[in-house]
Structure 1
Amino acid sequence: MNPGLHPSKVTAQFEPLIAAFPDWHWEIRNLTIEGDYLALHLRVTGTHRGTFQGVEPTGCRVTTSQFTLYHLVDGKFADVWDLVDTNSVIEQIEQGKAVL
């Protein structure tokens, strides 16, 4: 069993995203805790200010959804599963406007 997610790994995971969307913001829409699991539904927004997946900055404001499931062991995050609609983000920045 993974003894816990090291904070440096979590930080490194988000570095490219924050570089491309420096004002990236997570808004919790739903939070559910069941036993050793924590589930989140998030609305995320940000402004495309840096290169993201090969697309140069557009200045476009984007909005998308994210679903995250955490597994906790001994009070620490042991595993995480994350689903972000990156296709929607790419579509929005390529079109230069937010599409929901």
Structure 2
Amino acid sequence: MNYEENSKIIKALADPNRLQIIDLLSCGEKCACNILEHFDFTQPTLSHHMKILTECGIVNCRKDGLWSYYSLNIDKCNKLILFLMNLITDTDDCICKGKNESNCNEK
């Protein structure tokens, strides 16, 4: 499991505005101007949020002239979901299995 990469994504999602942006993008690609309509903050603030989401790879950005269009990186979203599921489930990949512990449920 890639703890470093996934922790960056989780940190990016640890903001309620960015979670709302992810929710908006779950409906499909959106222009920055359409995303901004749902918030009470400025365009530079939106740009900051989008930079964080694109840098961690959870959101894709596509430029068309002067406009920026954003969409979810579904592959990265699915990998995050699998990571979280494996993190909270007793699997063969569980970190405690490598510590010679007899039972992972004894955490």
- Higher-Rg member (1/2): 2
| TM-score, scaled to structure 1 | 0.28
Query: Greater strand share, 1 or 2?
Result: 1
Q: Which has the higher helix share?
A: 2
What TM-score comes out, normalization by structure 2 length? 0.27
